[in-house]
Amino acid sequence: MSKRFKVLLTNPIHPLYHEELSKEFDVIVSPDIKPDTLKGLISGCDGLIVRCQLPDDIFDNAAHLKAVVRHGVGLDFIPVAAATKKGIPVANLPGSNTTAVVEYCLAAIFYFRRRLDLIDSALRSQGWAKARPMADPSTELSTTTLGIIGMGAIGSKLAKAASALQMNVIALTRRPETLPSNITAATKEELFAQSDVVAICCPLNDQTRGLVDRASISLMKPNAILINIARGPVIDTQAVLDALVAGKIAGAAMDVHNQQPLSGDEAVFNCPNLLLTPHIASMTATSMRGMSKGSVETIKAILNGVKVENVVNPEVFLNKA
């Protein structure tokens, strides 16, 4: 009888697909995401499904590892170059959480534009006469210019949704020639100066780290809002906080942060007009089920010798040929 492969989950996945995975492989769920814990568990495993930041040296003692699958899209959690050097295929799930993230962006826009939470609170505590005038400054989305940084799957789908809501859409992208005719290409300076809403949808890499700097934020309109669903280091967080405190921008939504998880002591917790969420833009019951399904299907395929198309370092297959 052949030995069953062993698969490590950095975090739990959907129970239905955990059960499916367990029918074919031995499955281990890490009790925590501490680097030493993960490095200790990986040594005897053949597959790895990733939902957290991996230590840079995670693969040093992973002699049996044959497949790594990102339960999602972003690859910054995984030291892909190190995996490639050791001949380990790494796959992700493009498009698996796109709808959830786009809906988060739209929810953040509506949150700041209408502030129904504040109106509800005022109505309950201060009465109709105090609450009613709070709606007067609201503006409709059809008067809004949305600036999107990064026109990958998320940025492109957000642009379509915004256009359907009659928003004017401009975009900063490396390939402006690929933009649809209803979306205007913009420089970074133009985008920050013209936008009523700036949505950051780009990946984190050497080119985008620190992209949204103090100079960019200084160009924003006083009624503009900033939404970051990319990664924390893409923006200068302190510059955003300073602008919010000074009233130079109207609001910001941060789903991603420089250090995660947040401890509760960070300056963001004392900043006005800042919507904080714990990296949940991609998380809905629908997307979590879809990502678990895709992760299990992908790792089963790779461990069974299939060269799947969603491997991001396909050169490892050439090296094994």
Mean pLDDT of all residues in the chain? 96
285, burial (CB in 10 Å: exposed 0-12, middle 13-18, buried 19+): exposed
Signed CA dihedral, 277, 281, 282, 286: sign only: positive
What pLDDT does residue 318 have? 83
> In this predicted model, what pLDDT tens digit does every residue of 225-260 receive, in sequence order?
999 999 999 999 999 999 999 999 999 999 999 998
Which residues pair with residue 274 across a beta bridge?
A: 252
For residue 291, report the phi and psi dihedrals to the nearest 5 degrees: -70, -40
What pLDDT does residue 321 have? 52
268 vs 256: CA distance, rounded Å: 12
What pLDDT does residue 1 have? 39
| Ranges in the chain, pLDDT < 50 | 1
pTM of the model: 0.90
| Angle value at C-alpha 309, between 303 and 310, nearest 5 degrees | 80
> In this predicted model, what pLDDT tens digit does every residue of 267-290 receive, in sequence order?
999 999 999 999 999 999 999 999
Q: Which domains does the chain have, with CATH numbers?
A: 6-94+285-320 (3.40.50.720), 98-276 (3.40.50.720)
Tokens, residue 217: 């934020």
**b/e per residue 156-167 (b: at least 16 CB within 10 A):** bbbbebbeebeb
Amino acid at 185: A
What pLDDT does residue 2 have? 54
